[in-house]
Chain A
Amino acid sequence: MAKVLVVDDEPNILLSLEFLMQQAGFEVITVEDGESALSHIAEIPPDLVLLDISLPGISGFDVLERLRADTATSRLPIIMLTAHGREVEREKGLALGADDYITKPFSTQALVDKVKVLLDEATP
């Protein structure tokens, strides 16, 4: 069973994402900030990360950058999930190596589909 790490500081969003991923048949780990996300990944590498940008402490961009800089996680599928809808931020996320960039509020079905696609690509 594929493991999905969800990083978001909004409890209700976290709750909804956890439910969605579980329903899609994934194992879900939720954390509320970037530091926790990094330590979790280092401990038990997930198959995919749903990453918010506005986080307490280090931002989602910082987390993404560090993951891409590490050879172990450089190819880890990462979807940015953010309420920042401006184009510059989307471009920045993609440039830093995010596999996708989804703006909140999102379509739950589209998100689940996207996660499935990325996990299929990652595991041939």
Chain B
Amino acid sequence: MGAEVGVFVAAFGYLALLFVIAAWGDRRAEQGRSVIASPLVYTLSIAVYCTAWTFYGSVGRAAEAGPSFLLIYLGPTLAMLSGPLVIRKMIRIARAQRITSIADFISARYGKSSRLGALVALIALIGITPYIALQLKAITLSHAVLMDYPVAPGGPASTAGFLSDKSFWVALVLAVFIMLFGTRHLDASERHEGMVAAIAVESLVKLIAFLTVGLFTVFVLFEGPVDLFTRAASHPPLQNALSLSAVPGGALGWVSTLLLAFLAFFTLPRQFQVLVVENVDERHLTRASWLFPLYLLVINVMVIPIALAGLLLMGSDGDPDSFVLTLPLSAGREGLSLFVFIGGLSAATGMVIVETIALSTMVSNQLVMPLLLRTTKRYQGLHSDLSVWLLGIRRGAIALILMMGYLYHALIGDSYSLVTIGLVSFAAVSQFAPALLLGLYWRGACGLGAGLGMLAGMAVWSYTLLLPGFAQSGWLPLSFLEEGLFGLAWLRPYALFGLDGLDIYSHSLLWSLMANIGVLVGLSLFTRQNHLEQTQAALFADARTEGVDTPPLWQGQTTRGALHDLLRRYLGTASTARVLATVDAPHDRGRIEISTAAGIGSPENGMEESASPQLIARAEQALAGALGSASARLLITSVVRGEALDMEAVLSILDTTSQTLEYNRRLEQKSRELARIGEELRGANERLRELDRLKDEFVAMVSHELRTPLTSIRAFAEILRDSRDMPEAKRTQFLEVVVLESQRLSRLIEEMLDLARLESGRLTLQPHPLEMVALTRQGLAAVQHPIEERGVKLKVTIDLDEAWVIGDSDRLEQVIINLIDNAAKFAADTSPVVLLRLARHQGHVRLSIEDNGRGIAPADRERVFEKFHQLEQHSTASGQSRGRPRGSGLGLPISRGIVVQSGGRLWVEDATTLSGASLIMELPEAPQDKTMLATETPLPPD
């Protein structure tokens, strides 16, 4: 009995130590000096993977099936090596969405579906219960071995009442311990830093204990590894124990066991808890990805030696699962045995603690709360503080889970070995893997497919693993195993559809995962996701980079007060104030501080204001941390009127809209441009047509002007040719006409060339100072005689001695002659008079030439400067010819061109002295310069 007390004291002492460590870890966390923020602690916490199953069961499996036990550790090794890919992504998503468990994670991925969350929680509960039972069994068994050695413990544990069953008490003690341990916080969303610290210590303890018993075996019981292996090799029954062919199921068994362990590493609730939920820094993952495999390697190094030693020393009647205890006991090392027992206790309690906390979170968040919220929705106002409820639910769940574990252990557990129970659990939780892993990378995976896939997988799992377990425990007829359901051979649970020759786990895994994935993929291909599901799927599948923490914004309306009340009910006052303060706009800050001091909730603190979408999102996040995403959504929906704004849908709408707008804008722009270009083209076309018309007209006029002198020339030439007997006087007269008309033709051509040069800007003037009085007289001299011969009276008034301008003297003289000539044409038919006046006028030298004709109407005054205008316009309205030469109609346009190029002006006015029109030329007066005289330049031939 003394030994029993010692064991008791040691066990409770150990548990008390864990509690102290946990409390210390929690306090340090509160102080902001986390003890778990290191890759090493993270690795050790992940080592919760190694349970009593590892501690006792590995040796058992090695003794039975050789090195196949290693597969259970190769799977996680592979999984850890893929950590940077898969686990990091899960960590990021979980952080961004405040994920609390794997059920929450899967629920969130598939549109925060509460049904899916509940399903995962249920499956986890069913699948993990045997596993917890396994730990209870290990603790009880190891205790019994320790107490009763050398009598092998045996016989059904349940024959006596459960009050005398130690397992029951172990479960009860553990339940109380975990309640104290895991639900100390009011805010359930915070990490369990204390728990993680305690788990890390436990991982260290079990490692040291196992290594110690291993070293003891190899070096104390034997004389080193060489001795041990030599002796084992000489022992015929052991020769096959190390062979790879001992793995059940052969090669396929290898692969499927490896896959099972690989998948379970991600999907076991406790692994998800320590890997993802409790991770404080994703950078720890990098080192953990090789530290954890190293841990596995070290703890497994001693499995084969212990198994061999046990088989050698204990014989076939010893229970291999207990070798780690019985070997030191057989050597009389009770102290070492106690240490090993504590190591096993570490492995078992570590698993039970984390698993139970993870499961209880799932049960409360995914099963109880949604139900509670749905049923008590109407009475929400009655419960002022549901955070107490939350803890109560969680504690109840802990008790429930442990009791279920106990019941499983008591009723079924004995028929399976430790490893077997573990594999049954693995196979159950691996049903989460398709939904979890496909969901991480395939957007199309839909919630319905995930749910039904898991159900299908679980159905197959139950049929191929769970029911046979019941059958072997005597609850079902064994014929069910041998002959199949209803005696149908293809329905035999261990050889479904005739698939024989596999071990039961590979067989079950193969069929269940096939059913699961088939349903998931099949339904996803043919099902439309709702908007929230699409958004979440996109957030999960695209969460490769940091900054996935953009939760979908809410479109609905609610008041700050409503949100505040809701949060306070579930999170408590302090947390609520924190949450509300984090999202407030800067201009609200002052008010928040005041309201915090005065106590939040007083109506004058803007509680009637409508809450911003960011605040609603933040509130949902905070609630999700405590209740899981599905429940949080449910609660927020209860206070927010209107739909959640589906980010992706909105973005795509915005995208489409802005694209359309942009497109419209461009179209409008283009059509405006087209209209403008069309207008320009029309204008250009109009101008071209006008130019074309002008050109046609010009050509017609030119041809007309050329034809006229040509007609005379030809006519007289032919007359002279045909009339040889013409009087000499007539002949001379006709020849004179021919010469004159030829000259006219030449002049015309000359003028047209001048005009062309003027218009193209190629007429080059040679400006120099010239004296206008002299130039005018020069011009007069050239025209005076022919004009006066035609009967025109020419009057000249020059009031200046001299007047200097700058210009081309030849060209300006041409202009003067032209103007006098024109005036003579405009002058009256009877007693025509032309008056020339040269004077200064406002800094200019002005030459005005008047006539006594009918004048030019104001409307026509500019038109006389148009080409050929004079043709139609000149009129004397009299049939009497004065024998004056006909102008080309180009003289005035050319004159104006020359004057303008010389910097002057040329225009028509009413005559001031006479009755007709006045042609006026003005040139700017130049500073006097007597060194050069215009008269020096030679006169152009008339």
Contacts and interface: CB of A to CB of B under 8 A. Distances in A.
A54 B886 contact: no
Q: Which 5 A-B pairs have the closest CB atoms?
A: A83-B707, A16-B715, A104-B711, A12-B712, A105-B714
Given A10-B886, A83-B703, A104-B711, A16 B875 contact: no
Interface in B855-886: 871-872, 874-877, 879-881, 883, 886
Contacts of A20: 715, 719
B737 A12 contact: yes
B790 to A, nearest CB: 12
Contact of B708 (A36, A104, A107): A104
B707 A31 contact: no
Nearest to B713: A105
Given A13-B708, A56-B875, A105 B886 contact: no
A17 B718 CA distance: 12
Contact of A108 (B722, B881, B886): B722
A106 B715 contact: yes
B700 interface: yes
A10 B708 contact: yes
B710 A86 contact: no
B716 interface: yes
Contacts of B880: 32
Nearest to B703: A85
Q: Which of B707, B875, B881 has the most CB of A within 10 A?
A: B707
B741 A12 contact: yes
A108 B711 contact: no
Interface of B: 700, 703-704, 707-708, 710-716, 718-719, 722-723, 730, 734, 737, 740-741, 871-872, 874-877, 879-881, 883, 886
Contacts, number: 78
23 contacts: A10-B712, A11-B883, A12-B712, A13-B711, A16-B715, A16-B719, A17-B715, A19-B734, A32-B880, A33-B879, A36-B879, A56-B874, A56-B876, A57-B875, A57-B877, A83-B708, A83-B711, A104-B707, A105-B714, A105-B715, A107-B718, A108-B718, A109-B718
A84 interface: yes
Nearest to B700: A86
B738 to A, nearest CB: 9
A16 B721 CA distance: 13
B881 A32 contact: yes
Contacts of B875: 56-57
Contacts of A57: 875, 877
A8 to B, nearest CB: 9
Given A33-B879, A57-B875, A104-B707, A13 B700 contact: no
A12 B318 CA distance: 154
A32 B711 contact: no
Contacts of B713: 105
A15 interface: yes
A86 B700 CA distance: 8
Interface in A44-61: 54, 56-57
A105 B707 contact: yes
Contacts of B712: 10, 12-13, 16
A33 to B, nearest CB: 5
Contacts of B881: 11, 32
A109 B722 contact: yes
A70 B495 CA distance: 129
A108 B875 CA distance: 29
Interface string A4-25: 0000001111011101100100
Interface string A74-118: 000000000111100000000000000001111111000000000
Contacts of A17: 715
Contacts of B707: 83, 85, 103-105
B879 A16 contact: no
A70 to B, nearest CB: 21
B710 A104 contact: yes
Contact of B711 (A19, A23, A106): A106
A88 to B, nearest CB: 10
Contacts of A84: 700, 704
A111 to B, nearest CB: 9
Contacts of A83: 703-704, 707-708, 711
Q: Which of A105, A107, A109 has the most CB of B within 10 A?
A: A105
A9 to B, nearest CB: 8
B707 to A, nearest CB: 4
A19 B713 CA distance: 14
A83 to B, nearest CB: 4
A37 to B, nearest CB: 9
A20 B707 CA distance: 19
Contacts of B886: 10
A74 to B, nearest CB: 25
Nearest to A103: B707
A90 to B, nearest CB: 13
A44 B730 CA distance: 29
B879 A31 contact: yes
A26 B908 CA distance: 47
A95 B210 CA distance: 131
Contacts of A16: 712, 715-716, 719, 734, 737
